[in-house]
Amino acid sequence: MSRIFEKIYVLFRMNILIFVLLAVTVIALFAYQNGLDVIEPLYLHDYPYLMAETDSADGGASAVKLSRTDSSIILDYELKEGYAYPYVGVKIFLGDGKTRGRDLSRFDSIFVWVKPRGEGTVRLYMRGYDSTFSRPGDETSLKFNEIEFFPLEETYPAVFVPQEFRVAGWWVAENEINVHKARVDLSNIPLIEIQTGTNAPLGYGTLEIKGLCFKGKKIEKEELATALVALWFITFFVILVIRFFDYSRERAANNKKREELEKNLRALEIEKSEYEKSSKEDPLTGCLNRAGFSSVLMREQENLQKNDSPVSFVILDIDHFKHVNDTYGHMVGDEVLVNLAKLIQSKIRNTDALVRWGGEEFVILCGDTPIQNAQFLAEKLRMAIENTQLIKQQKITCSFGIAEMIVGEDPKRLFERADKALYASKENGRNRVTSATFRHTR
């Protein structure tokens, strides 16, 4: 009877822990959805750091007059011919208004109170400073994160999310911005501009602007999810520990179950063996990972030292892989990795080791292979990849770097030489093979 009560007590204790964990999770999610908000308003009627602007800097002749009321600012303007796209607006300076602005990237909603007295669109610019291309004192070099909308078709206030902004194409072309830098970035905004839109009619008009408001969360969604997952993991770990001790006491009191426990231990050994095997493989491509690569490398090093058998190291990198991920999504990127691994496996020997080194980089360790043969293999692979449709969206190519292992050489040094050769391939136009000792030209 005491044994039965003991089991009931153990079960009840576990249920209490799980119930508490569920309650904490529900409360945290509810608080996140209905609270934990960070709201930062920017009301312009008494904001000192702003000024009206016109198209005069671009050769235009438009005019504007700025006035303040108790709750907003009023822009009375006249759009005139002179500039191809006449405009007027207001500049709102944040921070020092030049290089150190406000980090607005943590907000997920932007509210804009603007009322035009007339038709036409309104442009909202979040001007970003980035030290890699912005020039101090040159306002035109601030990134144009923009959105253009019809206020009369929006709610009041109009509500936008950062994903709806885009970087102005004309600004990217004019400043020759790298494609990786031509993304919306609200992490340092020293200037906000609200202007009449591209299709605003010529003549007199009025814009009434109350201000803006930025809304976000005190804690990021990813941070909350990570905390909850960690809490669940810790709780279940505690439950497992409790169960382990309970099981140990029961095992000590009942020797008759020893045979069953030994059977369980053997099953665990098998599971451990399978786990060790899976831990050496990349789960996506089925290739070796770095852990699996280490044992193969040690074997080939020993073979080189004892038998003077040449070992070559081929490293390859998918050209413009980040563009594939950014353009078509990570599922297409994964498809590239899987299909590329299958193609390479079909072209190399069973004795060669294919390793996913990380991201879009792969390594092929070729035993009993001098660098000339490795060069031939790499060129064959390069052509096969170029001529194979790995994904339907676009052609995929790879750049290669090759090095032959020297007796007694540190593997890090071998990798550095091959990596430099790979870098040379990329510098010379990608989709090519370069050797650490001589360069092969297509």
Tell me which residues are annotated as active site. 360
For 169-222, list the strands marked E by DSSP: 191-196, 203-217
In angstroms, the first-to-last Cα distance of the chain is 83
Phi-psi region of 430 (alpha: psi -120 to 50; beta: other; left: phi over 0): left
C-alpha 187/C-alpha 100 separation (Å) is: 10
- Nearest CA to 133 out of 91, 104, 176 is that of 176
- How do strand 191-196 and strand 143-149 relate by DSSP bridges? unpaired
Write down the H helix ranges in 195-320. Answer: 221-253, 258-278, 290-307
Q: Nearest 5°: CA angle at 174, between 169 and 178?
A: 70
Contact 404, 313 (CB under 8 A): yes
The DSSP 8-state label assigned to residue 282 in this structure reads -
Name residue, tokens 């980035």.
130
C-alpha 38/C-alpha 224 separation (Å) is: 15
- Structure tokens belonging to residue 112: 């804009």
Contact 435, 417 (CB under 8 A): no
What is the Rg, in whole angstroms, of the alpha carbon atoms belonging to the chain?
A: 32
DSSP H or E segment with residue 169: helix 169-175
DSSP H or E segment with residue 111: strand 107-116
Angstrom distances, CA of residue 164 to CA of 14, 170, 392, 419: 47, 18, 28, 39
- Structure tokens belonging to residue 384: 């096969």
